[in-house]
Amino acid sequence: MSLILVVNSGSSSIKYQLIDAHTERREASGLIERIGESMGRVVHRAGSVSTESEMPIRDHRAAFAAMVDACAAAGQPLSELGLSAVGHRIVQGGSEFVDPTLITDAVAARILELAELAPLHNPGHHQAIVAARAAFPQVPHVAVFDTAFHQTMPPEAYTYAIDTEVAAAHGIRRYGFHGTSHQVVAQRAADFLGEPIHSLKQIVLHLGNGASVCAIDGGRSVATSMGLTPLEGLVMGTRSGDLDPGVLLHLLRTGYSVDQLDELLNKRSGLVGLAGSNDMRDVRAAADAGSARARLALDVYARRIRHYVGAYLVELGAADALVFTAGVGENHAPLRSEVCVGLEWLGIEIDAARNASLESGSRRISTDSSRVQVLVVPTDEEAEIARQSWQLVSSDRASSQSRERTESLPG
Ligand code: ADP
């Protein structure tokens, strides 16, 4: 049995999926929100049946109890299904977590310490880890880090040009995020092309509400646009992406507080700041209806992506594949065409009909003569977390079994 409970937790919400790591089949999924508020909400889906209930959910422990109840009520008692592992998505793993990691007390404590670098994410992850380990004490828990895939970047790609002592004292460097997505999409693109990943140079554009680009050489991340935090790089739904750091100093001097700046850059910038909505569909509709503001937002959005594509082509020295993924990348043909327009001289030629096709699954949108294969490849971070968790616990089990066998051999 390879059933994995994948947990994506915040300080007031937990998203979960029950996934068979082999088949990638979803046995169930759900969302628990408003943890700690006077009234919480639990949504559980199994197949085509969805149930919703409201109840006070005091803390993360109560949230896991509610999840166990919701699964049992849907005829999926977790105690009988035989969970192989709980896989926890962790945003910030610092420089030390480069692989999926079995969660021990020490690992959990380190994830909490790393909250210094990810105050919005790691505290909620830690609360969920403590609660989930209490709820499922017999099951191995695995941490899968958004930052891990990018730890192969060379120093010149992750070093910011500031005083090295200040940087060292505060852990300031580029960590990069969306690593699980970049990793699974790069592998799926290689599978689609029928080429070994180690022979490919790829640029992956993860364009969702959060957005980042990654240069991947032979399956290894060599550059990525997000930095110390998931704020740097591309224009996102509500985040600014790249900005002159002088803007922050200027606003601080004009009286903005740190919290106001945080809110401005994380929640009121990007598409929502420029055009009033963080949803690409709304912004496109407004631009098509003649809004100059929405048109400018789209132009800034696409131009920033092209800026990184150019930079990463130079970084890689060539590209075999340019891959679009996540909500915008998978579903929004006009943007893909705006990113690629005029790049024929770089060997990037998209085919208008293939780009407009509503086919699902991995697909090619470049012309047959395009030197660079332009692909749309759906991401699936949860399935990848399930796969990595399963791989770790099954190899751990295999190695402890072989250790036991060796130890029991007559000496
Ligand atoms: P998250 O970063 O929250 O995981 P997703 O990858 O699901 O985000 O992307 C969500 C975004 O994708 C939406 O805000 C919207 O802008 C965009 N999106 C989703 N579906 C479409 C669509 N059919 N056409 C254009 N944009 C879409």
Q: What digits encode the pLDDT tens for the residues 57-69?
A: 999 999 999 999 9
Q: Which of 331, 337, 339 to mutate to test the pocket of ligand 1 (most atoms within 8 A of CB)?
A: 331
State the residue range of the domain holding 9: 3-145
Pocket of ligand 1 (CB under 6 A): 208-210, 237, 278-281, 326-328, 331-332
Angstrom distance (rounded) from CA 324 to CA 302: 13
Would strands 373-376 and 363-364 be described as parallel, antiparallel, or unpaired? antiparallel
What is the three-class DSSP state of 294? helix
212 and 139 in a common domain: no
What are phi and psi for residue 258, nearest 5 degrees? -60, -45
141 and 201 in a common domain: no
273 and 206 in a common domain: yes
Angstrom distance (rounded) from CA 22 to CA 229: 33
226 and 113 in a common domain: no
**Over 80: is that where the pLDDT of 398 sits?**
no
Q: Share the mean pLDDT of the chain.
A: 95
**52 and 35 Cβ atoms separated by less than 8 Å:** no
Which of 216, 215, 229, 227 lies closest to 266, judged by CA? 229
Which of 192, 183, 203, 202 lies closest to 363, judged by CA? 192
Angstrom distance (rounded) from CA 387 to CA 223: 24
Which pLDDT tens digit goes with each residue over 326-340? 999 999 999 999 999
Question: Helix 105-113 crosses helix 122-135 at what angle (to 10 degrees)?
Answer: 160
Angstrom distance (rounded) from CA 295 to CA 35: 39
207 and 82 in a common domain: no
DSSP state of 199: G
Ligand 1 center–CA 1 separation, angstroms: 33
222 and 345 in a common domain: yes
Q: Which of 20, 146, 217, 244 is catalytic?
A: 146
Which pLDDT tens digit goes with each residue over 110-168? 999 999 888 889 999 999 999 999 999 999 999 999 999 999 999 999 999 999 999 99
- Determine, yes or no, domain membership for 125: yes
Whole-number Cα distances in Å, 361 to 100, 181, 185, 271? 27, 15, 12, 27
Which of 112, 53, 55, 44 lies closest to 78, judged by CA? 44
Residue 410: pLDDT band with limits 50, 70, 90 = very low
Predicted local distance difference test score (pLDDT) of residue 407: 54
269 and 344 in a common domain: yes
Predicted local distance difference test score (pLDDT) of residue 395: 86
**305 and 213 Cβ atoms separated by less than 8 Å:** yes
Q: Is 146 a catalytic residue?
A: yes
- Determine, yes or no, domain membership for 359: yes
**305 and 205 Cβ atoms separated by less than 8 Å:** yes
21 and 137 in a common domain: yes
Helical ranges in 101-178 per DSSP H: 105-113, 122-135, 155-158, 164-170
At 86, which amino acid appears? V
- Determine, yes or no, domain membership for 385: no
- State the Cα angle at 127 between 80 and 145, rounded to 5°: 85
- Determine, yes or no, domain membership for 181: no
Q: Which of 205, 281, 359 to mutate to test the pocket of ligand 1 (most atoms within 8 A of CB)?
A: 281
212 and 116 in a common domain: no
CATH of the domain at 309: 3.30.420.40
Total structural domains within the chain: 2
**214 and 324 Cβ atoms separated by less than 8 Å:** no
Nearest protein Cα to ligand 1, atom 22: 331
218 and 366 in a common domain: yes
- Determine, yes or no, domain membership for 154: no
**175 and 158 Cβ atoms separated by less than 8 Å:** yes
- Determine, yes or no, domain membership for 47: yes
What global pTM score does this model have?
0.94
- Determine, yes or no, domain membership for 384: no
349 and 204 in a common domain: yes
Ligand 1 center–CA 393 separation, angstroms: 33
Ligand 1 center–CA 372 separation, angstroms: 25
208 and 287 in a common domain: yes
- Determine, yes or no, domain membership for 84: yes
